[in-house]
Amino acid sequence: MRIAVFAGDGIGPEVTGEAVRVIEKLGLPDLELVEGDVGGAAYRKHGHPLPEATLDIARSADAILFGAVGDFDLDHLERHLRPEQAVLGLRKELGLFANLRPARVFKGLEGLTSLRPEVAQEIDLLIVRELNGDVYFGEKGMRTLEDGRRQGWDMMSYAEDEVRRIAHAGFKAAMTRGKKLCSVDKANVLETSQLWRDVVIEVSKDYPEVELTHMYVDNAAMQLVKNPGQFDVVVTGNLFGDILSDQASMCVGSIGLLASASLAEGSFGLYEPIHGSAPDIAGKGLANPMATILSAAMMLRHSFGLEAEAVRIEDAVAAALAEGVKGGDLGGSAGTVEIGDAVLAHL
């Protein structure tokens, strides 16, 4: 079990530190942790957010535990040198095209979300976000038009094979859950989305047991707060999935709770909280590490087939929350290490 640990910037080292303590506590045989530099931290040390040495570590590992990247002081850099390129580069280089972002309400948190408790308590959904395409990876640029106005542009596109493989990921996930798949797009306006919808319908023929619906992304944003209990699996593109998953996090309590798995074909994956480097609270011991701890659980499940150990971690997080151990993001006062301690105590 060779796990690359890429802590990154801001609260990244704080939250991965707690997740590592949790993994180590399990006493797994053959566990090997290898650290690597990513993001602004890597840029400051090596002049690049995703150094070749880090990519080598990633390729030699069975899975990656990732913290967060992002550093407002480096936002002036050319885009290819910005911290965020580390996570984008890893996703692309390693073919991590399927991003699973589950959201459910933990017992005791029903009254702490941004929704009314009776609405929130119904939530148990999974966002399957495409991660290798869309407007994120199209050509982009800044230019000056003939009349002197500056223009920024980004090319949005999906090829049918890219849609087909994420559609399969969505249907397969639905088969293991409630057998409902909602494909979210903007096919009323975007050609990218029309192709998306056409291909998802084609792929649905392979999954007759799954009930497929389609929803425009603006309506999906509304439905997510109106009646989130209607969703089982949501499959969507890179940009819409990014936005809807941050929104889903507040529907279940906090962005400090949402874990994710970024998967390639096979067992390899990168596991990270959906949140960023949170510069506003970095270095203060205030970050909630639960999203990262839950990401480690997803890693044990998906990359190592250790279902029982994954459930142990998830149960320990649930138990810590149930006894009232909450970070500031949930209106509590527990710090990062205190939350880690509580989870460890329940393991």
Chain residues in the site for Mn ion (CB under 5 A): 242
**Taking CB under 6 A as the rule, does residue 126 contact ligand IPM?**
no
**Taking CB under 6 A as the rule, does residue 274 contact ligand IPM?**
yes
User: Is residue 41 a known part of a binding site?
Assistant: no
Which residues are registered as beta bridge partners of 3? Answer: 33, 63
Cα distances (angstroms) measured from residue 34 to each of 28, 155, 263, 296: 15, 37, 20, 15
The one-letter amino acid code at 340 reads G
If the CB atoms of residues 232 and 329 are measured against ligand NAD, the closer one turns out to be 329
If the CB atoms of residues 97 and 304 are measured against Mn ion, the closer one turns out to be 97
DSSP 18-56: HHHHHHHHT--TT-EEEE---HHHHHHHHSSSS-HHHHH
218 classed as catalytic: yes
Taking CB atoms, the residue at the shortest distance from ligand IPM is 84
**Taking CB under 6 A as the rule, does residue 71 contact ligand IPM?**
no
If the CB atoms of residues 195 and 274 are measured against ligand NAD, the closer one turns out to be 274
**What residues make contact with ligand NAD under the rule CB under 6 A?**
11, 15, 68-70, 84, 87, 255-256, 272, 275-281, 287-288, 291, 327, 329
Nearest-10 crossing angle of helices 290-302, 336-346: 40
The residues, ordered by sequence, that sit 6+ positions from 69 with a Cβ below 8 Å of its Cβ are: 8, 9, 12, 38, 39, 40, 49, 83, 84, 86, 87, 276, 277
**Taking CB under 6 A as the rule, does residue 299 contact ligand IPM?**
no
User: Is residue 267 a known part of a binding site?
Assistant: no
Judge contact between 49 and 79, C-beta under 8 A.
no
Residue 101 beta carbon to ligand IPM: minimum distance, rounded to whole angstroms: 9
Question: Residue 268: which of 58, 66, 28 has the closest Cα?
Answer: 58
136 classed as catalytic: yes
Judge contact between 46 and 83, C-beta under 8 A.
no
**Residue 88 touches which of ligand IPM, ligand NAD, Mn ion, none (CB < 5 to 8 A by kind)?**
ligand IPM
DSSP 56-85: HHHHHSSEEEEEE---GGGTTS-GGGSTTH
User: Is residue 278 a known part of a binding site?
Assistant: yes
Q: What is the dihedral of CA 6, 7, 8, 12, to 10 degrees?
A: 150
User: Is residue 147 a known part of a binding site?
Assistant: no
Residue 213 beta carbon to ligand NAD: minimum distance, rounded to whole angstroms: 29
242 classed as catalytic: yes
Q: Which of 88, 212, 251, 281 binds ligand IPM (CB under 6 A)?
A: 88
Q: Which of 242, 309, 314, 329 binds ligand IPM (CB under 6 A)?
A: 242
Active site residues: 136, 186, 218, 242, 246
The residues that touch ligand IPM, with contacts defined as CB under 6 A, are 70, 84, 87-88, 242, 274, 276
